[in-house]
A = this chain, B = another copy of it.
Amino acid sequence: LRHHVRVSHETDGAALPDPLLAALRAAVGPSHVLTDADLRATYETDWSRRFHGVAAAVVRPGTMDEVAAVVRACGQGGAAVVPQGGNTGLVGGSVPRAAAPRDGRGAPRPQVILSMLRLRELGAVDQVAGEVTVGAGVTLGALQAHLAGSGWEVGIDMGSRDSATLGGMVATNAGGIHVLRNGVMRQQLVGIEAVLASGEIVRRLPGAVKDNTGYALPALFAGSEGTLAVVTRLRLRLVPPLPRRAVALLAVDDAGQAATFAAELRRRLACLTAAELFDDDGMRLVLVHAGGEAPFRERHPRYLLVECGAPDDPTDQLVEAISAVAARDAVVAGDEGGRRRLWALREGHTESVNAAGIPHKLDVSVPIGRIGAFDVAVREAIRAAHPLPRIFIYGHVGDGNLHVNVLGPDPDDEAVDDAVLGLVIELGGAVSAEHGIGVAKTAWLVRDRGEADIAAMRAIKRGLDPGDVLNPGVLFSDPA
């Protein structure tokens, strides 16, 4: 949401009071409290490059106790804590606010970035449970490397794997490309250890798959964007690898048909692991940008890419199932190269769109049964709001998560947001599917959720963080 960009000036940042600086240095050691502007710089801007704020300090604890000491010191010293993992967020939730939060007298509060990157514990794989306990600062890629050869995989995968940390993935309830099979990050969590705003510790480790012993704090903390607790350690259930793959591309009439076919295939194929949608304009852009041959002689309105994964080759099953749906055309990859070429048509979208201009991007969830209606209506709505849009809609048709990208001259981003997100709300979807609210979508949170829903969220925030210590300004633009 580019119209939210504010480039802050150094003067927006309140300095740390001396006692707080001393307390932070005592907590983590002086070398892990970065106050120099050059050292802070990479921590102060997120991956979107649109969100930036000045930190009074970047603090790098190495243990759970150090995290607790930092949070406690900040709470006592009136500072805001901005938890940060790999800083791959796109909604400004992991960097300081451009306009610092204010204290009760209206004075700016210092913002302290709590970098979790030193919590890199990689526990031994529990072969009997199929679970592993890791530090919050471990990247997804590091865990994947750790698991290599263990016979188990993480249930989540995504492009930012070498930067995104598992703690950040809990905080934002990451989704990625395997949600159809394994669910979102919340569903991988067996146990957590987390520091509350008070500096106290919630510890549910190793945890249990079936646990009805009080409120589901791990499920609540997942997706809370660092506003309720700082996760320091987590235990993940793992999934067995599915070494044999089969991939098919189906040409379809429209997005609604893609969703209908995906459902039909889901019913027929226990092995279905992905169902992805893209349009012809998007595919042409990818082919021009990345090269490659069109999969079909003719052009078709929309494409549905499906993948099966299984212990044994699922190609025959996939062929049988797709022959039961009346696609305009279909192609099944016969080998690894073919599978890669088909996936490249979908996965090349982000890069190709970015190379063609500066896209206005929206990441939304639409009720799966309304994807067809959304795809038609959203194009009309964007055209009404934008002079000459080039529209690319692609995403995970199997779970309703669509990426709407708009390129074109002189875009009125706010009008496009209104058009797209307004429609999402009207259809009963969610204005943030994967990236969260951060500071970018706080106004939309209020529009998407009802008054009672917002009141309940604020009551939870007030109850767990009465001093507004953890990530103030994220989710709610004013103190809850």
What is A's interface to B at a CB cutoff of 8 Å? Answer: 126-131, 151-152, 172-173, 175, 179, 183-184, 186-187, 196, 198, 200-217, 219-220, 222-224, 228, 240, 242, 256, 259-260, 263, 266-271, 309-312, 317, 365-369, 371, 396, 399-401, 428-437, 441, 444-445, 448-457, 459-460, 462-464, 475
Q: Which residue of chain B has the shortest Cβ distance to A256 in the bound complex?
A: B128
Q: Which residue of chain B has the shortest Cβ distance to A398 in the bound complex?
A: B209
Q: Which residue of chain B has the shortest Cβ distance to A172 in the bound complex?
A: B212
CB-defined contacts of A367 to chain B, threshold 8 Å: 129, 206-208
Pairs A–B under 8 Å by Cβ, sample size 18: A128-B368, A175-B210, A187-B187, A208-B401, A210-B401, A211-B365, A212-B223, A213-B445, A213-B448, A214-B437, A215-B223, A215-B456, A216-B219, A216-B220, A240-B270, A270-B310, A270-B311, A463-B463
CA distance A1 to B431 in the complex (A): 46
User: In the complex, are the beta carbons of B453 and A204 less than 8 A apart?
Assistant: yes
CB-defined contacts of A459 to chain B, threshold 8 Å: 463-464
Known contacts A216-B186, A220-B215, A450-B202; is-contact A400 B210 (Cβ 8 Å): yes
Min Cβ gap A220→B in Å is 5
CA distance A451 to B317 in the complex (A): 53
Known contacts A204-B453, A219-B220, A453-B203; is-contact A212 B464 (Cβ 8 Å): no
Min Cβ gap A372→B in Å is 8
Q: Which residue of chain B has the shortest Cβ distance to A220 in the bound complex?
A: B220
User: In the complex, are the beta carbons of B187 and A457 less than 8 A apart?
Assistant: no
CA distance A263 to B215 in the complex (A): 28
User: In the complex, are the beta carbons of A202 and B240 less than 8 A apart?
Assistant: no
CA distance A201 to B219 in the complex (A): 21
Q: Which residue of chain B has the shortest Cβ distance to A453 in the bound complex?
A: B202
CA distance A425 to B434 in the complex (A): 35
User: In the complex, are the beta carbons of A434 and B206 less than 8 A apart?
Assistant: no
Given A128-B371, A207-B430, A312-B317, 9 more contacts at CB 8 Å? A129-B259, A130-B263, A131-B368, A200-B451, A200-B455, A206-B369, A213-B449, A270-B309, A460-B460
CB-defined contacts of A213 to chain B, threshold 8 Å: 430-432, 437, 441, 444-445, 448-449
CA distance A448 to B204 in the complex (A): 10
CB-contact partner of A217 in B179, B211, B453, under 8 A: B453
Known contacts A369-B128, A431-B213; is-contact A464 B460 (Cβ 8 Å): yes
User: In the complex, are the beta carbons of A369 and B212 less than 8 A apart?
Assistant: no
Residue with the greatest number of chain B CB neighbours at <10 A, chosen from A219, A220, A435: A219
User: In the complex, are the beta carbons of B266 and A211 less than 8 A apart?
Assistant: no
CB-contact partner of A266 in B130, B371, B460, under 8 A: B130
Min Cβ gap A357→B in Å is 27
CA distance A375 to B320 in the complex (A): 46
CB-defined contacts of A126 to chain B, threshold 8 Å: 368-369
Q: Which residue of chain B has the shortest Cβ distance to A241 in the bound complex?
A: B267
User: In the complex, are the beta carbons of B445 and A263 less than 8 A apart?
Assistant: no
Min Cβ gap A291→B in Å is 32
Known contacts A202-B453, A453-B202, A460-B460; is-contact A212 B366 (Cβ 8 Å): no
User: In the complex, are the beta carbons of B399 and A210 less than 8 A apart?
Assistant: yes
CB-defined contacts of A152 to chain B, threshold 8 Å: 267
CB-defined contacts of A204 to chain B, threshold 8 Å: 449, 453
CA distance A256 to B129 in the complex (A): 11
CB-defined contacts of A460 to chain B, threshold 8 Å: 215, 220, 460, 463-464
User: In the complex, are the beta carbons of B209 and A400 less than 8 A apart?
Assistant: yes
Residue with the greatest number of chain B CB neighbours at <10 A, chosen from A131, A311, A475: A311
CB-contact partner of A127 in B129, B212, B263, B428, under 8 A: B263
CB-defined contacts of A371 to chain B, threshold 8 Å: 128
User: In the complex, are the beta carbons of B457 and A217 less than 8 A apart?
Assistant: yes
User: In the complex, are the beta carbons of B179 and A210 less than 8 A apart?
Assistant: yes
CB-defined contacts of A268 to chain B, threshold 8 Å: 240, 311
CA distance A271 to B209 in the complex (A): 19
CB-contact partner of A242 in B173, B203, B270, under 8 A: B270
CB-defined contacts of A451 to chain B, threshold 8 Å: 200
Min Cβ gap A194→B in Å is 9
Known contacts A208-B366, A271-B270, A464-B460; is-contact A445 B214 (Cβ 8 Å): yes
